[in-house]
Amino acid sequence: MTLATHGKNGAGAAAVFYTTIKKSASLVFVSSPESDHIKNLEISKKCAATIQDDGLEWKEIKGLQLKGEINQANEKYWENYLRKYPYIRTNEELSKALEKVNLYEFRITWARLIDNTKGFGNRTEVNY
């Protein structure tokens, strides 16, 4: 997922690994509290994101455009994250890196699915 935020120094964007929270319109991800995209949350918790597969052919474009808010996540969601990325626990370097990051929740308020496999510009929007 590519996440974008805006703060006093302008826009910041970053690619982050994420996972879902079941029965929720939220995603969780880890990031450094010192990163620009997280520091921007001091000004505004609002954000935008995109999730898509790589593709060079327009007929293959398929992905999500999202808007929402970011807050620090409930500690119980670490299990969701580590279940999706179990290699983090067994990799010494990655396990150590977890000491320097926080878990964040991206609460989705709006989503648009773009699916060109169903025709150019095919889209579906949802407000939460």
Q: Given this model, what pLDDT does residue 118 score?
A: 82
- Per-residue pLDDT band for 119 (boundaries 50, 70, 90) equals confident
Q: Which amino acid would we find at residue 53?
A: D
Domain residues of the chain, as ranges? 2-127
- Domain 2-127, what architecture? Roll (2.30)
Q: Given this model, what pLDDT does residue 122 score?
A: 74
With 0.75 as the threshold, say if the pTM is over it: yes
Give the chain's mean pLDDT: 92
Point out which residues pair with 61 in neighbouring strands: none
Kindly compute the dihedral angle of the four CA atoms of residues 94, 100, 105, 108, in this order, to the nearest 10 degrees: -80
Distance CA(24)–CA(43), nearest Å, equals 25
Q: Given this model, what pLDDT does residue 109 score?
A: 97
pLDDT at 21 over 90: yes
Give the tens place of pLDDT for each residue, 36-83.
Answer: 999 999 999 999 999 988 776 777 778 999 999 999 999 999 999 999
The residue written with tokens 């299990």 in the block is 79
